[in-house]
Structure 1
Amino acid sequence: MHTINLQGSWTRREAAELPDLGDAGLRARFRAAFAGAQPFPHLVVGGLFDPAFLLRVAGEFDGGLTGGRAIANARERTHRSGRPSAFGPATQRYFDLMHRHAMVDFLQDITGLAPLIVDPMLMNGGLHESRDGGRFAIHRDFNRHRQTMLDNALVVITYLNADWQPEWGGQLELWCARRKRVVRSIAPELGRTVIMAHGAHSWHGHTVPIDTGGTTPRRSVATYYYTRRIGLRERLGYHSTVFALDGKGRFAPSDVVPAGAGASLRQRAGEAARQVVPPVFWNLGRHLAGKL
């Protein structure tokens, strides 16, 4: 499957905006390509961002890596950024765009993964740089965010390397479920964006050590998106807005339909009961129901 290239009209002096992501035909093409990709759902897009804008992001890497960490072990050799507050203005703009509603809505639509939740602190994301000798063994990504415990659903990687040569190595390799062979190899070229679903078989890496003769680091920016795969018990424990009691000890009236137009009769009945049953008895009933 080939890269889908967008024909962006980057005519402004500093084009730091996304193309129109609301086009129904474009979304349909992306949706079909993502779902049908092998060895696991993914999409490679060229031209999503203005190349001149991405070169500005690349030019801010040295400052963006300040306070970050270098990883060097038998499986991985790379450099990662620290706090996003250290990023330059173009880099901050890039991640602002990735966290906007237009992008999140687009990603939810083409991947079928919803709801997607952004992480402004960019845990495990941010700036990634590999220098000569850098490699990343076959792996699949972490399953949950360490602080929020939200489920890792998707990663979007944009490469920042102008004139990257194939003999330098560093290609992103997508491996089959049994880790026996490379199904797809993606060169980390400037303007190439990879959208990858996280799952039990999303094995990838760049196993060929980079060798540019010490001239060019391999740079990319990565954004993770999360979701929450809640169980039945948690869904039953959900409630909508709770309003304060009025001066006479009664629940204040609400002009909000708690469960929406598509609510089931059981949901509407439960919500109505919650509005009239005193909180102490309501909480006791929920506690006993949980025990049962």
Structure 2
Amino acid sequence: MIFDYSKWNITLETDTKNYQKALPYPHLVLDNFLEIEAAEKALDVFPKIEDAGWIHYVHVNEKKHGLNKLELIPAFIRDGIIKELNSPQFIRHLENLTGIPNLLADKTIEGGGIHQSERGGYLNIHADFTVHPHKKTWKRRVNLLVYLNKDWPTSYGGALELWEKDMSKCAVKIEPVFNRIVVFNTDEDSYHGFPDPIQCPAGITRKSIALYYFTKEKKGSFKRRATNYRARPNDGFKAVFIWVDKKMIAIYTWLKGNLGINDDFVSKVLNFFQKKK
């Protein structure tokens, strides 16, 4: 068993209230989310960054690695966990939790899948892209993150930060500990990230499974926008680089949506320039 519906249905009413009233925007943190055997096996088969297929997101606003090629994701994570969390039954559970009807799972796991970051990795504060890159009527609504980090002390950093909508301060910090889930609304001002470089030892990485959910809307009924990275109040001159990089990402997102460019392309470009250094 991957996910025990009977257990979580008992707390669903309370979880729903907590989710929908949470600040700075609707979210929920749950521990011991997957059945323990499933979480342990997912960690056991989690691939190394050196394995085939990883996309290396290395630029001003992030330093992390992602794998979203379904055929290269280990079978248990792909056909067990991801399949279950994209199933109609789980979608109904999410709809009840979030209060958002007609959620759609992204079977292509575009931008999601499995992620990990090495020592020095980070993800600047941002609000996510608003539209599926290849489905222009799909509005992004909900993120689900499952953390798989055993023995992860606070000193390593890497806590997920949820920021106030006016970017005045961090409102919530969530440690990325083993078998913890975070679910949150992805509105235009749902700012989040882990902006300070993590300090885990070499050979240890911050691991997660990331899934995104959408609703189908009328064309033109909402604004298409790329990932909106934001500077923190204490970022100083770094804010200029954050802004410039954000504009470059917006151009890439446009090309991706209109010309069919994928993340493999940008990964190869970034890796080329990394090797030139």
TM-score range, shorter chain: 0.7 to 0.9
Q: How does 1:1-292 map to 2 (within 5 A)?
A: 15-20=1-6, 23=9, 25-62=10-47, 66-92=52-78, 93-149=80-136, 150-230=138-218
State the alpha-carbon separation in 1 of the partners of residues 45 and 208 from structure 2.
12
The runs of 5 or more residues in structure 2 that have no matched partner are 222-277
Is the Cα contact below 8 Å between 2:68 and 2:111 reproduced in 1? no
How big is each residue's C-alpha offset from its partner over 1:199-246, in whole Å with a ceiling of 9 and x where there is no partner?
Answer: 12200000121111214100000111010232799xxxxxxxxxxxxx
Letter in 2 for 1:99: N
The runs of 5 or more residues in structure 1 that have no matched partner are 1-14, 234-292
State the alpha-carbon separation in 2 of the partners of residues 206 and 232 from structure 1.
32
Q: Which is greater in Rg?
A: 1
* TM-score, reference length from structure 2: 0.74
Shift of 1:85: 1.2
Inter-CA distance 180–230: structure 2 relative to 1 (3 Å threshold): same
Please provide the CA RMSD for this pair: 1.9
Inter-CA distance 148–167: structure 2 relative to 1 (3 Å threshold): same
Inter-CA distance 50–21: structure 2 relative to 1 (3 Å threshold): closer
What percent identity do the matched residue pairs reach?
24
1:7 match: none
Shift of 1:88: 1.5
Is the Cα contact below 8 Å between 2:141 and 2:213 reproduced in 1? yes
* TM-score, reference length from structure 1: 0.71
Instruction: Provide the secondary structure at the position in 1 that maps to 2:6.
Output: coil
State the alpha-carbon separation in 1 of the partners of residues 37 and 101 from structure 2.
32
State the alpha-carbon separation in 2 of the partners of residues 54 and 84 from structure 1.
19
Inter-CA distance 231–134: structure 2 relative to 1 (3 Å threshold): closer
Letter in 1 for 2:175: A
Structure 1 residue ranges, 4+ long, deviating more than 3 angstroms after superposition: none
Shift of 1:63: 6.1
State the alpha-carbon separation in 2 of the partners of residues 22 and 185 from structure 1.
23
Inter-CA distance 16–232: structure 2 relative to 1 (3 Å threshold): closer
Relative CO higher for 1 or 2, CA cutoff 8 Å, sep ≥ 6? 2
Instruction: Provide the secondary structure at the position in 2 that maps to 1:128.
Output: strand
Instruction: Provide the secondary structure at the position in 2 that maps to 1:80.
Output: strand
State the alpha-carbon separation in 2 of the partners of residues 63 and 166 from structure 1.
23
* Structure (1/2) with the larger strand percentage: 2
Instruction: Provide the secondary structure at the position in 2 that maps to 1:210.
Output: coil
Shift of 1:79: 0.3
Inter-CA distance 116–186: structure 2 relative to 1 (3 Å threshold): same
